Chains A and B, each alone.
Chain A
């Protein structure tokens, strides 16, 4: 009898403590953020790595305790859907995240087609979405899309950085030959890159496109070189495109300056080109993750990437940046309402990025202040080694 009584007493104590403990256990809430990345298809090699960067950012933030909005801490729960490198896949994935999971904040999107497709789902649902990259089309970014942001202004920023650098290394160069992926973004690149080139006193005399599934670069490079411009350049494309183009151009005997306008992975390009000797002299508007001048967050990213994935890659920092700035915007706005966050985001004066202090830009270029401008460098292959030879601030996208 006594033992039963003791038992009952202990159970009651346990229940009371258990109930009392509930509020402490429920202290952590989660905020779901959706990731729309291509894990399959032709974009997968690049977007997969970018996605890994997004995952690293989520882990880093959660280890710090998550984000705090109105005194409540939130851990981030990343919900990923494969966009399958196509507009169709993007729509299906976006539908799943927005309709089924009712997620309010999204990261992801690179290509013009996929970005425009995503808007058809995210705009009616009033979801705030930050892209990794854009092709500067009006259906991708602009005043009619107040809740769409991008962590890069793509060719606008890149062209400015690259041409400014070119003025110092090849002051006599005046004409450019430009090739780019034929993914629907050619007219927009022509427009915006042309503007920057005009502004800095250059002339684009040839624009050529190559299909996404290109296997043989010879015809494309040949035609571009026949224009006999002072400079041969490529705008967008993944490292294996750019590397192959470099290799082809050098094999064909082109000895002039070669650059890419996108913030791409120089080490991967060098590998795809067949080695540092072939890629000697090539430069892009990007950053080199092992540059000692970068803020400590970069070392942190490298460390985490090595621990989780075995090898660090430029694209890890790229994806990390996207998610990080989104969480900064949410915390700065102190709200979980996507419309409120978007409105606040456009007004932010300072935003931290993986390459240093950045700011919001794009009002003059695109009509809306939704571009995250981060410091960029001219990343060049000098004497067989990759270096950030010149750093530019974040004022590249007015």
Chain B
């Protein structure tokens, strides 16, 4: 293994160790925050899965909602175990994504984005069709928990789920399917000239992304024990998009960094009470003006600033 590879393994290994030992030296509240972050990491990464096919969905939280409501209703009203209903929630969201994909995948990027805005509203309205099951605007309390009252088992469950989901999404992105999607995003003319069915690829992307969104949503439902349509409406969707874009769209780690950092800012700044959102706005402004490639490009940018360019174009820490 190269020296660089070794360093990388050490770093990742260390990170894994820290992640697994986290609950041992963190307060209940911090574990709770970590749980939420993990869910949002899955969500934002699932948004990326849709994004790489050239579609920027402004209604992704709606699919989180589908997963959440399906799982919650099955568990609360039919008494099924959350272990069963969570995957079902994911599958329900995936089905919805595919169904929605059929008419919408024909739309050009901007029209798709605009149409997706309305998903959230329609999902909210749909919960009104069966208010005795969903509680409609009042929300749905009393969702069966996955574990007991302690936050720690949730942490490990979400951690493992997140790692697995990220692994799967990463492999898909690197695989043939992923390449196809990226191709379609770049140029539909070129893609179709290679025999790639654009619509099919897009629907696939939607299906994959929505599955994980639904999964995350269902997990959230059984963790929070309370969901309401406001969790899945327009602004949560837009915030997911912001996490993705500001985290960085060039790399797989973009949504992970974006979700983890940006989601936590209002909580970290909790001491400022009502003024906390200003800090978030400030951070966002700093990033889009000064770090246009997103947060994940930060290490790269710092390296550039610190090092000197060599004749062969590489940048190193030492003068050569």
| Min C-beta distance of B240 to chain A, whole Å | 15
From residue 121 to 139 of chain B, which have CB atoms closer than 8 A to chain A? 135-139
Set of chain B residues within 8 Å of A82, measured between Cβ atoms: 273-274
**Proximity string of chain A (115-152) to chain B, C-beta cutoff 8 Å, 1 when within and 0 when not:** 01101100010000000000001010000000000000
**Proximity string of chain A (221-257) to chain B, C-beta cutoff 8 Å, 1 when within and 0 when not:** 0000000000000000000000000000000000000
Set of chain B residues within 8 Å of A88, measured between Cβ atoms: 228, 230-231
Whether A91 contacts B32 by the Cβ 8 Å rule is: no
**Contact of B270 with A by CB under 8 A:** yes
| Min C-beta distance of B265 to chain A, whole Å | 14
Set of chain A residues within 8 Å of B32, measured between Cβ atoms: 95, 99
Whether B29 contacts A100 by the Cβ 8 Å rule is: yes
**Contact of A274 with B by CB under 8 A:** no
Whether B226 contacts A87 by the Cβ 8 Å rule is: yes
**Contact of B175 with A by CB under 8 A:** no
Set of chain B residues within 8 Å of A302, measured between Cβ atoms: none
Whether B138 contacts A183 by the Cβ 8 Å rule is: yes
CA distance A112 to B141 in the complex (A): 10
- Given A113-B139, A117-B139, A183-B138, answer yes or no on A87-B274 (Cβ-Cβ < 8 Å): no
Whether B224 contacts A113 by the Cβ 8 Å rule is: no
CA distance A212 to B270 in the complex (A): 28
Whether A99 contacts B224 by the Cβ 8 Å rule is: no
Whether A39 contacts B274 by the Cβ 8 Å rule is: yes
**Contact of A96 with B by CB under 8 A:** yes
**Contact of B225 with A by CB under 8 A:** yes
| Min C-beta distance of B138 to chain A, whole Å | 2
CA distance A64 to B40 in the complex (A): 48
Set of chain A residues within 8 Å of B29, measured between Cβ atoms: 95-96, 99-100
**Contact of B289 with A by CB under 8 A:** no
CA distance A175 to B198 in the complex (A): 62
From residue 115 to 166 of chain B, which have CB atoms closer than 8 A to chain A? 135-139, 141-142, 149
Q: Which residue of B lies closest to A140 (CB)?
A: B141
Whether A184 contacts B270 by the Cβ 8 Å rule is: no
User: Which size bracket describes the interface of B in this complex?
Assistant: 20 to 34
| Min C-beta distance of A141 to chain B, whole Å | 13
Counting chain B CB atoms within 10 Å of each CB, which of A39, A113, A124 scores highest? Answer: A113
From residue 54 to 85 of chain B, which have CB atoms closer than 8 A to chain A? none
Set of chain B residues within 8 Å of A212, measured between Cβ atoms: 137
CA distance A184 to B139 in the complex (A): 7
From residue 218 to 245 of chain B, which have CB atoms closer than 8 A to chain A? 224-226, 228, 230-231
CA distance A119 to B28 in the complex (A): 18
Whether A116 contacts B138 by the Cβ 8 Å rule is: yes
**Contact of A194 with B by CB under 8 A:** no
Chain B binding surface SS class: helix
Set of chain B residues within 8 Å of A39, measured between Cβ atoms: 274
Set of chain A residues within 8 Å of B270, measured between Cβ atoms: 96
**Contact of B27 with A by CB under 8 A:** yes
**Contact of A40 with B by CB under 8 A:** yes
From residue 81 to 116 of chain A, which have CB atoms closer than 8 A to chain B? 82, 86-88, 91, 95-96, 99-100, 112-113, 116
CA distance A120 to B224 in the complex (A): 8
Whether A86 contacts B27 by the Cβ 8 Å rule is: no
From residue 87 to 119 of chain B, which have CB atoms closer than 8 A to chain A? none
Whether B138 contacts A113 by the Cβ 8 Å rule is: yes
Whether B224 contacts A91 by the Cβ 8 Å rule is: yes
Whether B138 contacts A112 by the Cβ 8 Å rule is: yes
CA distance A139 to B141 in the complex (A): 8
Partner of B141, one of A86, A116, A182: A116
| Min C-beta distance of A112 to chain B, whole Å | 5
Set of chain A residues within 8 Å of B138, measured between Cβ atoms: 112-113, 116, 137, 183-185
Q: Which residue of B lies closest to A80 (CB)?
A: B273
Whether A40 contacts B135 by the Cβ 8 Å rule is: no
From residue 1 to 31 of chain B, which have CB atoms closer than 8 A to chain A? 27-29
Set of chain A residues within 8 Å of B137, measured between Cβ atoms: 113, 182-184, 211-212
CA distance A339 to B150 in the complex (A): 20
Partner of B142, one of A87, A95, A139: A139
From residue 150 to 193 of chain B, which have CB atoms closer than 8 A to chain A? none
Set of chain A residues within 8 Å of B139, measured between Cβ atoms: 87, 113, 116-117, 184
Counting chain A CB atoms within 10 Å of each CB, which of B135, B138, B274 scores highest? Answer: B138
CA distance A39 to B231 in the complex (A): 19
**Proximity string of chain A (137-175) to chain B, C-beta cutoff 8 Å, 1 when within and 0 when not:** 101000000000000000000000000000000000000
| Min C-beta distance of B108 to chain A, whole Å | 32
**Proximity string of chain B (250-271) to chain A, C-beta cutoff 8 Å, 1 when within and 0 when not:** 0000000000000000000010
In the complex, 9 of the A-B residue pairs with CB atoms within 8 angstroms, ordered by the A residue number, are: A82-B274, A87-B139, A91-B224, A96-B270, A99-B27, A116-B142, A120-B224, A120-B225, A183-B138
Instruction: Kindly list the 8 A-B residue pairs having the minimum CB-CB distance in the complex, ordered from nearest.
Output: A184-B138, A116-B141, A100-B29, A120-B225, A124-B149, A99-B29, A113-B139, A113-B138
Beyond A112-B138, A113-B228, A120-B226, 7 additional pairs, beta carbon < 8 A: A40-B274, A96-B270, A113-B139, A117-B226, A120-B142, A124-B149, A183-B137
